[in-house]
Amino acid sequence: MQKLVWFNGEVTALENAKVPAADHAHLYGDGLFEGIRIYGSKVFKLDEHLSRLYFGCKFLGYKMEIDQPMLKKTILEVCSQAGIADGYIRLNVTRGTGLGLDPRAVQTTPNVMIMISSLALYSQEMYDTGLNVITTSYRVAPPSTLDQRLKCIGRYAYHILAKEEANQAGAGEGLMLNHEGYVAECTGDNIFIIKDGVLRTPHPSQGLLQGITRDTVIKLAKAAGITVVEDVMTRYDILSADEAFLTGTAAEVIPMISLDQRAIGTGKPGEMTKKIIGLFREETKNGTPFAAMANA
């Protein structure tokens, strides 16, 4: 396995990779990203990630010169070159290179980066025993500023502050509310609860990233005959739930066993949570293969 970076057509080792000093994401956070998993030499949910990315480019007015099929082909080629069976892809697209807030000052086409690396947020022990979570003091941005469904690099500054707050409290994650006090998401994960056999998760209108893993879990649960409700939720709903878990590309599916030092249900990973984890792990066997492209 090699950790590689493809940047605007040039491939280098990760430790030697460079981006322009005046890249608009470097200067202003003006960029989009996708985190994508590799399982068994297959890229998981690649088309879904690319569709979200290209909508974000359209929304933000980026003048992409690489179309979606070509970027998909390039990602698979870089994965093949890296030779990694299980790993993590970080895909960045920024407005381009130029000093100044005015997009007219950006003279180049968007900068595109494909990083092939590895990422593990939590130890296996945490997947077995579950996460303790706190409610952070940081709120998600309201849609009147920037819709949270955009995976914009700049918006993660306050998510990092919320994560730091959770770290200081000794918690595995931090729950973020919206400005009305309703549950939105955690610093890097979507949240689900189970009550009386019904799977509930905040509706996208509540200010959360509509995660690819989130959507995958919803589809898997419905296919398994589980009732799923996208809803408005408060901390009360979480604390009175029978079970809870978090989802995300980096976190995958991980049990949540407490909020603000108060146990959820039995304070241990529940049976439906374990079932969802099993369904998700089975689903990760599917994906877009790239190993065959090594000889292309």
Q: What is the mean pLDDT of residues 69-94?
A: 96
Question: Of the listed 151, 163, 219, 274, which one is catalytic?
Answer: 151
> Tens digit of pLDDT for each residue in 203-231?
999 999 999 999 999 999 999 999 999 99
Q: What is the mean pLDDT of residues 92-114?
A: 93
Q: Where are the domains of the chain?
A: 4-118, 124-283
> Tens digit of pLDDT for each residue in 3-21?
999 999 999 999 999 999 9
Sheet strands (E) in 136-227: 173-177, 183-186, 190-195, 198-202
For residue 93, pLDDT over 80 is answered with yes
3-class secondary-structure state, position 237: helix
For residue 253, pLDDT over 80 is answered with yes
For the segment(s) 4-118, the CATH number from 3.30.470.10, 3.20.20.70, 3.40.640.10, 3.40.50.410 is 3.30.470.10
DSSP 194-214: EETTEEEEE-GGGT----HHH
pLDDT value at position 64? 94
Q: Which residue has the higher pLDDT, 90 or 146?
A: 90
pLDDT value at position 148? 86
pLDDT value at position 237? 98
- End-to-end CA distance of the chain: give it in Å, rounded: 19
Q: How many CB atoms lie within 10 A of CB 250?
A: 14
Place of tokens 């049990």: 255
> Tens digit of pLDDT for each residue in 104-145?
888 889 999 999 999 888 888 999 999 999 999 999 988 888
Q: What is the mean pLDDT of residues 231-236?
A: 97
Q: How confident is the model at residue 296 (pLDDT cuts 50, 70, 90)?
A: very low
Count CA atoms closer than 13 A to 29's CA, side-chain side: 10
For residue 79, pLDDT over 80 is answered with yes
Sheet strands (E) in 2-61: 4-7, 10-13, 31-39, 42-43
Distance of CA 154 to the CA centre of its chain: 14
C-alpha 202/C-alpha 206 separation (Å) is: 7
For residue 293, pLDDT over 70 is answered with no
Q: What is the mean pLDDT of residues 164-193?
A: 97
Q: How confident is the model at residue 1 (pLDDT cuts 50, 70, 90)?
A: low
9: left (phi > 0), else alpha (psi -120 to 50), else beta? Answer: left
In the chain, what percentage of residues exceed pLDDT 90?
89
pTM higher than 0.85: yes
pLDDT value at position 2? 85
Under CATH, domain 124-283 is a member of which superfamily? D-amino Acid Aminotransferase, subunit A, domain 2 (3.20.10.10)
Helix axis angle for 46-60 and 68-82, nearest 10°, is 130
Averaged confidence pLDDT in the chain:
94
275 is catalytic: no
- 267: amino acid identity, one letter: G
43 within 8 A of 76, measured Cβ to Cβ: yes
Which residues are bridge partners to 97 per DSSP? 23
C-alpha 252/C-alpha 244 separation (Å) is: 14
C-alpha 89/C-alpha 173 separation (Å) is: 22
